[in-house]
Amino acid sequence: MPRAVRRRWPLTRSFAVISSIAMVVLGCALVWVTWSVMSQQSVRDGIATAETVTAYATRTVPTDSFVPPDNLDQAQKDAVEAATSGFGDRLVELRLWALDGSLIYSSAEHTETGFPDGDRLDLVTAGGSPSARVITDVRGAGAGSGGGTELSVLDVYVPVRADEVADPDPARGSSVIGAAEVMLDHRAAGAALAEAVRTLAVVVTLGLVALWLVLFRTVWTASRRLQATALENARLALLDSLTGLPNRRMLAERMRRTILEAEETGSRVGLMLLDIDRFKDINDSLGHDRGDELLEQVAERLRGALRDDDVVARLGGDEFAILLPDVRSVANAERLARRVRGLFVPPFMLGELPLHVDTSVGVACLPDHASDPSSLMRTADVAMYAAKHHRTGVSVYSADEDDSSPARLVLLGDLHRALTPAPGAARELRMHYQPKIELATGRTVGLEALMRWVHPTRGVLPPTTFIPLAEQSGLIHDVTRYALTECVTQLAAWRAEGRATPVAVNLSAHDVTTLAVVDLIESLLEEHTVPADLLEVEITETALVADPSRVVPVLERLGALGIRVAIDDFGIGNTSISQLRDLPVDELKIDRLFVSDLGADGREGSEVVVQAMVDLAHSFDLRVVAEGVEDEPTAVILRRLGVDQAQGYLYSQAVPAHDLRLTPSVPRPRRDRAGGGRGGVAVAPTRPPSTRHTRPPRSAGTDDTNG
């Protein structure tokens, strides 16, 4: 069983208990110390009185009287009594003792013998200092049966010296010759001491109680003030100071509780993250005061438009969150998000200025997109930025848009490992090759290298799975190096067997903007003694027009080495005729979108489009290759339209090098162009989506359905 959590006492209760105990201890200590000091003072006063009594009494007693068996005669006794009569009732009894404990004199009637307190007598006679003790003296014949008189007396033993008696003996000097036992009535002193202690106790008690009340009042007031401050701080810690909405901390706690309840009931939890578009421009142009006013109005609209159970929070800046504790489906959450976005259609009045603002909303649900509060917040954030990036207004979380999902991070780590295999370990990244067929003769005149990842747990992964990840993480240069190294090594092996079929490698857009890829290709060709005309490169049309000032010098260097360059996916980019005329390329590859339109179910006029591409390419002395050829009728049409080469499933899919059936051949001579460029090797880049269709990116040997 879980241990019970002990609640801490409030500050005031702790102070009351601790301070009360401390006050009681302090009061008792004060009273005891005062009583002790006064008691000692009373004893000292009694000793002084006893010494005075002894001095008066011994003046009449000769020295020889303290030597047994001599006792005082009646005259001497009367003299002692007369000498001490001045002390009155204060003196209860006086006894004189010899050194051996013999009683020399007693002021009590009919007392001829007695016994002293031997220890005290020896202490006094040996040390020469008085000894006092408060005792209870019982007198009277019936004392034993309760009829006697009990007195509280101060019993003092005082040493008697030889030079203090009536007839001093010079031979004895000031030595102690006996002791006087003086019993003084201690009742008055005891009563005075008791009264003083009682008065002191009352004064101390009242003073300490008053002090305690003052301190308690001070602590209580401070505690109340601290509690109020703590409550205010707690409120401020959980609420946004500007809008009064829950803040990120409170939202996280509500999410945690809501998700726990949802797990018990099996319900769904939704989360919307909302960001105001171009809020920085509003702040910069209208000022931060107007920006704060806008945020307050946004909070008010959101608060008044949702269900009672929904939680609206401000996460900071212009970002808001809406927690949906019980949402029936992801589609329902998306509908709610669109309704929330509709709240921004009416303008916001900032003073006299009507301001129209827009927002981006990301939607994620648990358990559909996340399993805990942290991942739910993260996936909703990914969806919100997807909505902002694509300008869709509302976006539901999609793993395809999540560049930082844990699965993608794990895959990125696996890609690092695959690019640097351990010695003796099987290679996970493998190059496959798809033949390029000359339509006029049916001969294999080239190959396109396409990368496959044989993952140890996930099986064969196509390039569309890992190439975008490599481009986003910066690993694409390592992938390109790996692909080029594998292809040049394979070309060297085939050349040793008497084969001479050119291989084209796709280059990423990240590679063709720097001359480093040219240096890499040149060093690989030199290392493996492979002629440059056996290696070709393919780059997408989009990569060419994106940054021609940096791409063209790279292509010119490749052409100077004797490497052919092909424009991949031609027809879906924005290359102009003037750009095509000036680009140093040798080949155009018509995108499979236009090739697929040539079939029986294709678009009307597709042959005209392809014919125009062929005529344009041939007018610049460029070779034309068609991708994605899947059937013979399409191949016949392409042959009739003047297309030079084709590749696709009609001829072969991409296969490992050992499955290719190639015969020794001589590479085709490179076609020169007036002012034209040279060809080369490639790893294709990721291409942004076309306005006409969407197609997965290509790089380092990517391919699609026909590749």
DSSP letters for 595-630 = HHTTSTTS-TTHHHHHHHHHHHHHHTT-EEEE----
pLDDT in tens, 214-238: 888 888 888 888 877 777 776 666 7
Say what the pTM is: 0.50
Least reliable range by pLDDT among 1-5, 27-31, 191-195, 243-247: 1-5
Residue 662: pLDDT above 70? no
Residue 493: pLDDT above 80? yes
Residue 145: pLDDT above 70? no
Looking at residue 689, its pLDDT comes to 34
Looking at residue 445, its pLDDT comes to 92
Looking at residue 530, its pLDDT comes to 93
pLDDT in tens, 424-481: 778 889 999 999 999 999 999 999 999 999 988 888 888 877 887 788 778 888 999 9
Question: What value does the mean pLDDT take over residues 593-614?
Answer: 81
More confident residue, 302 or 308: 302
DSSP designation for 61: S
Looking at residue 484, its pLDDT comes to 94
DSSP-derived pairing of the beta strands 269-276 and 623-626: unpaired
Asked if residues 339 and 363 have their Cβ atoms less than 8 Å apart, the reply is: no
Instruction: Give rounded-to-5 percent helix, strand, coil for the chain.
Output: 45, 20, 35
Residue 643: pLDDT above 90? yes
Local confidence band at 703 (pLDDT 50, 70, 90 cut-offs) = very low
pLDDT in tens, 535-591: 999 988 777 766 777 888 888 899 899 999 998 877 666 566 666 777 788 998 988
Domains, the chain, ordered by start: 14-139+147-193 (3.30.450.20), 248-402 (3.30.70.270), 409-659 (3.20.20.450)
pLDDT in tens, 94-119: 888 888 888 888 888 766 667 888 88
Average pLDDT, the chain: 81
> Nearest-5° angle of CA 151, CA 157, CA 158?
135
Least reliable range by pLDDT among 542-546, 594-598, 606-610, 632-636: 542-546
Question: What value does the mean pLDDT take over residues 340-346?
Answer: 88
Looking at residue 364, its pLDDT comes to 92
Looking at residue 8, its pLDDT comes to 66
| Alpha-carbon gap, residue 606 to 598, rounded angstroms | 6
Q: Which sign does the torsion angle of CA 32, 37, 38, 40 carry?
A: positive
Looking at residue 673, its pLDDT comes to 42
Highest mean pLDDT among 287-301, 538-552, 637-651: 637-651
End-to-end CA distance of the chain: 63
Give CA 164 to chain center in angstroms.
Answer: 91
> Nearest-5° angle of CA 697, CA 701, CA 707?
80
pLDDT in tens, 503-517: 999 988 888 888 899
More confident residue, 3 or 50: 50
